[in-house]
Structure 1
Amino acid sequence: MLQDWIESFKKNKQAGAALAKAAPKLMAAYQGFNASQNGNGALDPKTRELIALAVAVTTRCDACIAAHANAAKNAGVTEAEIADALGTAMALNTGAAYVYSVRAFEAYQQFSAQ
């Protein structure tokens, strides 16, 4: 096991509670923003959680992975659906690495031409 995600989820909630006590307006705004997502209801909960997990991977947010893996389970997401969503995240990261590799190569070429 790489990480105890259930324990991580619990600890993140505890840490969040401490921040909420120290900065209640900030946390109320954050929670309000979270609650307002998907306000028009166009996406079902499974789709939202698949997107959230893919984004959590691309942003490298362990707390997000824990929270949205749990929410995905609660929304009825299957392992096959998770695997497809994570494959999309992997492909996107690979694509981003390609684009930035092209940029880095171009920068090198411009400096070499001086």
Structure 2
Amino acid sequence: MSMHDWNNYRHQLVAGVGELSKLSPDTVRGYTTLAGAGTKTCRLDAKTRELIALAVAVSLRCDGCITIHAHNARKIGVSSDELAEALGVAVSINAGAAFVYSTRTLDAFKERDET
């Protein structure tokens, strides 16, 4: 059983972006240009880009990014094992960020105003 109807959500999201495009075409055109910029260099293959996108989407907690990039990843043949490795990187980076911010919190706590 799936947690979420990702296909329906993806279709709703695409429709919403279409609506936004009618209201603010320059915004959507600018985003599309930005999103496609990395593909023009051909330094990373499509699988690598989608795996990075999914790891970042997890870190940002963006369901929209997850549904779009999971769909794209499946279409280009990303395996479950490849996805699991990328998600493991996301988990590690998020845990690392918590460590870094824990040290910052301790630092802020130590410098509190005693008055």
Structure 2, unpaired ranges of 5+: none
Partner of 2:56: 55
Alignment match, 2:84: 83
1:75 Cα deviation (Å)?
1.2
CA distance in structure 1 between the partners assigned to 2:25 and 2:67 by the alignment: 23
Point out where structure 1 has 5 or more consecutive residues left out of the alignment.
none
CA offset digits 1:24-65 (Å, max 9, x no partner): 111111112222223210111111100010010011110000
TM-score (norm 1): 0.94
Q: Aligned residues, how many?
A: 114
- Distance of 2:97 and 2:64 partners within structure 1: 23
2:24 is equivalent to residue 23 of structure 1? yes
The amino acid across from 1:73 in the alignment is R
C-alpha offsets along residues 51-86 of structure 1, whole Å, 9 cap, x if unaligned?
010010011110000000001001110000000000
| Alpha-carbon separation, structure 2, partners of 1:51 and 1:10 | 22
4+ residue stretches of structure 1 with deviation over 4 A?
none
Letter of the aligned partner of 2:41 in structure 1?
Answer: N
Instruction: Give the superposed CA RMSD.
Output: 1.3
| Corresponding position of 1:14 | 15
Which residue is 1:68 aligned to? 69
Q: Which amino acid aligns with 2:19?
A: A
Percent identity reads 39
